[in-house]
Amino acid sequence: MRELLPEEQERYARQIGPGVLSSEGQVRLKRAAALVARTGGMGGPAAMVLVMAGVGRVIIAHGGRLISPDLNRQTLGSEEGVGLPRADAFAQRLRSLNRFVTVETIDHEPDDAEAEALARRVDVILSCAPSFAERLRLNRAALAAGVPLIDAAQWGMCGSLVVVRPRQTACLRCLYPQQPEFEELFPVVGGISSAVGSLAGLEAIKILSRTGQPMYGQLWSIDGYHGRTSIVNLRRDPRCPCCGDASPAGDAPS
């Protein structure tokens, strides 16, 4: 197992100890790879906490060029970056945060085959995508590769997290048997985006370092508008076409 450099031990000193990571957990982070699909309002903060925490390889996927309306929530963006390709600008910002990690970029939305190939290269997937089509694609890819999926979602001042453990807990398709309507330009306030994205990053850090209790199989909803939160235990649907008993990924433990 690759040990930490003295400079890395200094960098991560505040997150190693009782109640946080063990030294072994920090080394596990260093050896780990994570895919963050979309690094806008939610995925940007998620990628930031992974990079700052020392996840060895962070692959970010985000297409298009930064536009002014992105800047109410996309923390990796900047006034100077408007008009530039998002993936490159965001990666540059991430690399400036931690010289000990590698940041890779995908400058488009991966299709089914590429998503599955990416899933097989990483230890966890963070889905921070806006559309159900992309979220469900990442869900399928995670199930096919057998890697945990953390799905972050937002609308207005509300957000939610679902953490999927393949073959053991409900997947995103169990939760959404029918693909809901997608509103292209839905309203969103940056505070909820960064909150949900940071919590998604924390779940990934817990999973990768084997720290604490990941929220597997739970739907955590944060209603920032009314100031309420809730946690619901999800049930895996044995008839789910993605993770059910008859699916390729469905050999659930008895």
Q: By CB under 5 A, which span of 119-127, 128-136, 181-189, 242-250 interacts with Zn ion?
A: 242-250
Nearer to Zn ion by Cβ, of 28 and 135: the residue is 135
Does 136 participate in binding Zn ion (rule CB under 5 A)? Answer: no
Instruction: Report, in Å, the least distance between residue 171 CB and Zn ion.
Output: 3
Cα angle for residues 208, 223, 74 (degrees, 5° grid): 60
Does 153 participate in binding Zn ion (rule CB under 5 A)? Answer: no
Number of residues that bind Zn ion (CB under 5 A): 6
Question: Mask of contacts with Zn ion, 154-183, x by CB under 5 A?
Answer: -----------------x-xx---------
* CB 31 within 8 Å of CB 56: yes
Q: Please tell me whether residue 28 adopts helix, strand or coil conformation.
A: helix
Residues of this chain, 7-66, that bind Zn ion according to CB under 5 A? none
Residues of this chain, 95-114, that bind Zn ion according to CB under 5 A? none
Could you give the C-alpha distances from 247 to 94, 231, 253, in angstroms and in order?
A: 38, 27, 14
Closest CA to 60 of 83, 79, 40: 40
Does 242 participate in binding Zn ion (rule CB under 5 A)? Answer: yes
Does 138 participate in binding Zn ion (rule CB under 5 A)? Answer: no
CA–CA dist 136, 97 (Å, integer): 31
Nearer to Zn ion by Cβ, of 211 and 247: the residue is 247
Question: Mask of contacts with Zn ion, 194-233, x by CB under 5 A?
Answer: ----------------------------------------
Q: Please tell me whether residue 222 adopts helix, strand or coil conformation.
A: strand
Closest CA to 204 of 28, 1, 16, 10: 28
Instruction: Tell me the Ramachandran region of residue 167: left when phi exceeds 0, alpha when psi lies from -120 to 50, beta otherwise.
Output: left
Nearer to Zn ion by Cβ, of 76 and 240: the residue is 240
Nearer to Zn ion by Cβ, of 110 and 217: the residue is 217
* CB 103 within 8 Å of CB 62: no
Nearer to Zn ion by Cβ, of 28 and 236: the residue is 236
Residue ranges binding Zn ion (CB under 5 A): 171, 173-174, 240, 242-243
